[in-house]
Amino acid sequence: MEEISNLFQGFATVLQPFNIMVMIVGIVLGVIIGVLPGLGGANGVAILLPLTFSMSPTSAIIMLSCIYWGALFGGAITSILFNIPGEPWSVATTFDGHPMAQQGKAGEALTAAFTSSFVGALFAVIMITLVAPLVAAFALRFGPAEKFGVYFLAFCSFVGMSKEPPFKTVAAMMIGFALAAVGLDQMTGQLRLTFGFTPLLTGFDFLIAVIGLFGIGEILLTMEEGLQFKGRSAVINPTVVFQTWKELPRYWVTSLRSCVIGCWMGVTPAGATPASFMSYGIAKRMSKRGNNFGNGEIEGVIAPETAAHAAGTSALLPMLALGVPGSPTAAVLLGGLLIWGLQPGPTLFIDNKDFVWGLIASMYLGNIVGLLIVLTCVPIFAAILRIPFSIIAPIILVYCAIGAYSVHNSNFDVVMMMVFGVLGYFLKKCNYPLAPLVLAIVLGDRAEESFRQSLLASQGSLSIFWSNWLVGTIMALGLIALFWSAIQTTWTRLRAMVTA
Amino acid sequence: MTGQSNGASGAGPSHRSVEIGVALLTLVFSLIVIGGSLQVGIDWAFDGPRAGFFPFYLGLLILMSSLVNLFQIIMDGKTQRLFAEWGQLGQVLRVVVPSTVYVVLVPYIGIYAASILLIAVFMKWLGRYGWTLVLAVSIGTIVITFIVFEKWFLVPLPKGPIEELLGL
């Protein structure tokens, strides 16, 4: 009950005129970011983070999270009209979305995509409203060992569940942790890994890494592919929208299943991209018209879009309740919290109630506003993609540089951004996952602190991580996640042996 | 640089050699981390683990995974895949080179002037647009940026001699 009154208070905060304006600006910027190749949710939010320095934390998080919703919506536009996924999570939307557009059903496809996104996000927000306070209350009991256990679990899931080779994931992740360790050691006050180089005293900021790896790296990849944009034009009129809406309830099973897949994959750090693929794959297998998937089946648009949005939204649940972001964008939002002077994690629900519930309320409203904006403004957003890349690319570069500079007002950061950009290009081409690298830079100091605090309590014995049922369970789950793919292969082999 | 040749040559560095390069890079990085950790001490002091304790093990993990990655690439001799064609890499360099120059110029001439240059060079060199459009887009973008960042959101950006002359 208390949650409901808190939520209503949150709505009251969000409905202030300034916050509504911020919300609309955020969503429009987000859709633009989602539409443009080379700008994604994570680095889009990172670039625009400095704009929020002069705002109150609540307005700031509303703006940034709305940029995120907008980016999620925007990805679908380019997938359907141009067959170019603006975001990795909208790749699966191209499979049936673009064929629909080619058959002249772009309006239906877009309406279905936006509406499913909305449904997925709404499902995830309701889940967050109900579950997050419980998780946070439970997590208040966590000591340093349990905290480290949660980090351990999050990072092990990356190794076990990502499709990249496990040792590349480990390498990328540990490089992130090592970068986070550079500079002043918070516990001993000693400098480390700076090798006498002054700009390294403050260490590497993950925002710079995000802007470089995802922003510059992505532009380089786009350049290499030499993209030519040839798009279908889009007309959405109310008749098409209402006709599609009448048709959509028929696919409620697919929708519900995709919501559940999305929420699960979002809370565990697998993220929106695998969620959309998995949801598409399962829908194809279960659907009566599964054979026709890939030729413009509306169900093939509903499944990935619902799952991607459910995953993208529910990635905020562990960020809010535990301080462990479920996706790179959630990690950037978490970095924002730190900059605004808030302590992410379970105490947020006690010390900063207005902030948390304002954010949750803004998720409800932001998605409604987002749906209305994208439904009405699709042609305008699609026109942005018709601007040639040789104009868009340098402008994106300039904004990346401005974003990188304004984090610490440092020219060295701009140089580092470029280094990370080139690095990101090579890492991505060689199949090293970037998300765990970024997450490790964000969480590095906190993970190290809880690790060292635990060891201090136990006089250096690792047995503290098995000292009670709670931390033991978390660590065991972590180990299962770490060896998940190995467990799966053994299991299938065993089954094959039994049936043979 | 022979114009817009979008890699019709079909030649380029092999994926394998680049993979080996990246693995070696992570290997070198791990050695730096291990070295730096040893410098500050990886054992226990009277008040707990020293500063190098945690990064040392990180370094070891990177070293180990680099070696595994390296081993896997060297064992897997079958893949003849190209990393990218020379023409494609040329396209990439056409972004990297001007951007690097841009990044180096920012501290000296300010971000606004450097940005106008970057956008103009890009549009002229890669897009071959007319001067009117080039100037309109580059200066227009920067004026809008100035208003949004400096005036609305009060975020100061690095300025150079030109802004000083204009009294901004």
CB contact under 8 A, B107 and A220: no
Summarised one tens digit per residue, pLDDT across range B62-81 is 999 999 999 998 888 766 78
Pairing of strands B48-49, B44-45: antiparallel
Residue B6, pLDDT > 60, answer no
**Mean pLDDT confidence for A350-373:** 90
In a domain, B56, yes or no: yes
The pLDDT score that the predictor gives to residue A267 is 80
3-class SS at B65? Answer: helix
Summarised one tens digit per residue, pLDDT across range A41-80 is 788 888 888 888 888 889 999 999 899 889 888 888 888 8
Between residues A423 and A276, the one the model is more confident about = A423
Average pLDDT over chain A, rounded to an integer: 86
Partners of residue A218 in chain B, C-beta under 8 Å: none
CB contact under 8 A, B29 and A388: no
> H-helix or E-strand containing B49?
strand B48-49
CB contact under 8 A, B65 and A418: no
What gap in Å lies between CA A205 and CA B57, rounded to an integer? 21
Same domain, B50 and B117: no
In a domain, B106, yes or no: yes
- Closest alpha carbon to B149 in A318, A363, A386, A406: A406
A201 touches chain B (CB under 8 A): no
In a domain, B118, yes or no: yes
Partners of residue A412 in chain B, C-beta under 8 Å: none
Nearest to A391 among B55, B69, B123 (CB): B123
What gap in Å lies between CA B126 and CA B94, rounded to an integer? 8
Residue A346, pLDDT > 60, answer yes
User: What domain range is B117 assigned to?
Assistant: 86-166
Q: Count of domains in chain B?
A: 2
Summarised one tens digit per residue, pLDDT across range B77-133 is 766 788 888 888 988 998 899 999 999 999 999 999 999 999 999 888 888 888 999
In a domain, B21, yes or no: yes
The pLDDT score that the predictor gives to residue A229 is 56
Q: Name the residue in chain B with its Cα closest to that of A409.
A: B157
**Mean pLDDT confidence for A94-119:** 89
Same domain, B52 and B100: no
A220 touches chain B (CB under 8 A): yes
* Side-chain half-sphere CA neighbours of A185 within 13 A: 24
**Which of these three, B51, B75, B99, is where a domain ends?**
B75
CB contact under 8 A, A177 and B111: no
- To probe the interface with B, which of A392, A430, A437, A448 has the most B CB atoms within 10 Å? A430
Q: Name the residue in chain B with its Cα closest to that of A414.
A: B103
**DSSP letter for each residue of A437-480:** HHHHHHHHHHHHHHHHHHHHHTTT-GGGGGSSHHHHHHHHHHHH
- To probe the interface with B, which of A63, A155, A391 has the most B CB atoms within 10 Å? A391
CB contact under 8 A, B96 and A409: no
Interface of A with B in 233-262 (CB under 8 A): none
The pLDDT score that the predictor gives to residue B34 is 94
Summarised one tens digit per residue, pLDDT across range A141-183 is 888 899 898 889 888 888 877 778 889 999 999 999 999 999 8
Same domain, B92 and B152: yes
Chain A nearest C-alpha distance from B14 (Å): 12
Same domain, B117 and B98: yes
Partners of residue A450 in chain B, C-beta under 8 Å: none
Nearest to A171 among B69, B115, B119 (CB): B69
In a domain, B80, yes or no: no
Same domain, B67 and B94: no
**Mean pLDDT confidence for B16-33:** 93
**Mean pLDDT confidence for A379-384:** 80
What gap in Å lies between CA A458 and CA A456, rounded to an integer? 5
In a domain, B70, yes or no: yes
CB contact under 8 A, B118 and A394: yes
Q: Name the residue in chain A with its Cα closest to that of B30.
A: A175
- Closest alpha carbon to A328 in A23, A32, A71: A71
Residues of chain A above pLDDT 70, percent: 96
Partners of residue B48 in chain A, C-beta under 8 Å: 187, 452, 455-456
Same domain, B68 and B90: no
- To probe the interface with B, which of A193, A339, A426 has the most B CB atoms within 10 Å? A193
Q: Name the residue in chain B with its Cα closest to that of A169.
A: B65
In a domain, B8, yes or no: no
The pLDDT score that the predictor gives to residue B20 is 92
Same domain, B162 and B90: yes
3-class SS at A167? Answer: helix
Same domain, B42 and B100: no
Question: Would you place residue A121 in the very low, low, confident or very high pLDDT band (cuts 50, 70, 90)?
Answer: very high
What gap in Å lies between CA A254 and CA A250, rounded to an integer? 9
E strands of A109-222, at which residues? 183-184, 191-192
This model of the complex carries an ipTM of 0.90
**Mean pLDDT confidence for A443-451:** 88
A408 touches chain B (CB under 8 A): no
Nearest to B99 among A188, A409, A418 (CB): A418
**Which of these three, B75, B100, B126, is where a domain ends?**
B75
Question: Would you place residue A233 in the very low, low, confident or very high pLDDT band (cuts 50, 70, 90)?
Answer: low
CB contact under 8 A, A426 and B18: yes
3-class SS at B48? Answer: strand
What gap in Å lies between CA A378 and CA A80, rounded to an integer? 11
CB contact under 8 A, B55 and A427: no
The DSSP 8-state label assigned to residue A50 in this structure reads: G
Chain B nearest C-alpha distance from A2 (Å): 36
Same domain, B71 and B96: no
In a domain, B4, yes or no: no
Residue A257, pLDDT > 80, answer yes
Chain A nearest C-alpha distance from B78 (Å): 16
**Which of these three, B49, B75, B101, is where a domain ends?**
B75
**Mean pLDDT confidence for A112-123:** 92
**Mean pLDDT confidence for A200-210:** 86
CB contact under 8 A, A53 and B55: no
Residues of chain A above pLDDT 90, percent: 21
> H-helix or E-strand containing B44?
strand B44-45
Chain A nearest C-alpha distance from B129 (Å): 10
Nearest to B58 among A178, A216, A414 (CB): A178
A456 touches chain B (CB under 8 A): yes
Same domain, B62 and B97: no
The pLDDT score that the predictor gives to residue A422 is 95
Same domain, B54 and B108: no
CB-based contact A173:A159 (threshold 8 Å): yes
Chain A nearest C-alpha distance from B92 (Å): 5
Chain B nearest C-alpha distance from A54 (Å): 7
Chain A nearest C-alpha distance from B65 (Å): 5
Same domain, B36 and B65: yes
